[in-house]
Amino acid sequence: MCHWKRLKCDVGRSSVVELVPVNLLPDTPLKRVAREELPQHMQKAWDQSLALHGDTTFIEVFGHAPQAYDWYLQDFYSKFFYSGRIERSVVELVRLRLANIHGCAFCNRGDTLAAREAGVPQAQIDALAEYETGPFSEREKCALALADVMALTNTRGRITTALHGRLAAQFTDGELVELGVIMAMLCGMAKMIFAFDLVEKMPSCPL
């Protein structure tokens, strides 16, 4: 359900009140771990989350299971997402595309910054919704098409013969498996943070 806020605008001598959609802030049923009770490295993450998102729900809930938090960041991201065979720009585009589809405001904010840091041009970030006709290489377009298949909203998604032909021309089977695992992890985590209501969602969030 979309939430709305009243926005008052002055037009000449008159005032107009307009209803505009606002992001849905998290309202998790789980208990939160106070900042001072978090491990030191998670206290730093708490500060960063507050500065970037204005919300710390994700960090406070994961404070109940620091080992899960560390596994996600250190094993998945450090050892696989950032250190695999797929170039950084491609995995960042894929991650941002999934965040856009899922309507995760929390994810979009952080993933956009990460994409820029990886050298992804703003023109590509702006054109993700129309990537097939946008300023992307064929390899990037194929990876993004695979992301569409893997997205949570595509419950019957599968690699068609046509898509496999395109993918096979750009990626080895090993690279495709790696991409698939990356997307599966991202989608699985998206499901968890939505189900537990841990992050800010966009009004367009379909989940």
Report if residue 35 sits inside a domain. no
What does the pLDDT read at residue 124? Answer: 98
Percent of the chain at pLDDT > 90 equals 85
| Angle between helices 173-195 and 88-102 in degrees, nearest 10 | 40
Instruction: Report the number of distinct structural domains present in the chain.
Output: 1
Q: Looking at residues 170-196, what average pLDDT do you find?
A: 97
The whole-model pTM stands at 0.88
Q: What's the average model confidence in pLDDT over 85-107? A: 97
Tokens 């856009």 locate to 100
Residue 131 identity: Y
Structural domain range at position 110? 85-207
CATH of the domain at 179: 1.20.1290.10
Q: Two tokens at 189?
A: 């985590």
Report if residue 201 sits inside a domain.
yes
Q: pLDDT, tens digit, for every residue of 105-147?
A: 999 999 999 999 999 999 999 999 999 999 999 999 999 999 9
Q: Is residue 18 part of a domain?
A: no
Q: Residue 40: inside a domain, yes or no? A: no
In the structure encoding, which two tokens stand for residue 46, read together?
Answer: 């708490």
Q: What is the overall mean pLDDT for the chain?
A: 91
pLDDT digits (tens, 9 = 90+) for 31-73: 999 999 999 999 999 999 999 999 999 999 999 999 999 999 9
Q: How far apart are CA 118 and CA 108, in angstroms?
A: 15
Strands 3-11 and 14-22: antiparallel
Residue 4 clears pLDDT 60, i.e. is over it: no
Domain contains 194: yes
In a domain, 31, yes or no: no
Looking at residues 186-205, what average pLDDT do you find? 94
User: Does any domain span residue 91?
Assistant: yes
CA distance 117 to 120: 7
- pLDDT at res. 21: 53
Q: In this structure, what are the phi and psi dihedrals at residue 168, rounded to the nearest 5 degrees?
A: -65, -25
User: Is the alpha carbon torsion for 51, 94, 133, 152 positive or negative?
Assistant: negative
State the amino acid at position 187 in one-letter form: C
Instruction: Provide the pLDDT for residue 207.
Output: 80
- Residue 124 inside a domain? The answer is yes
Residue 17, pLDDT > 60, answer no
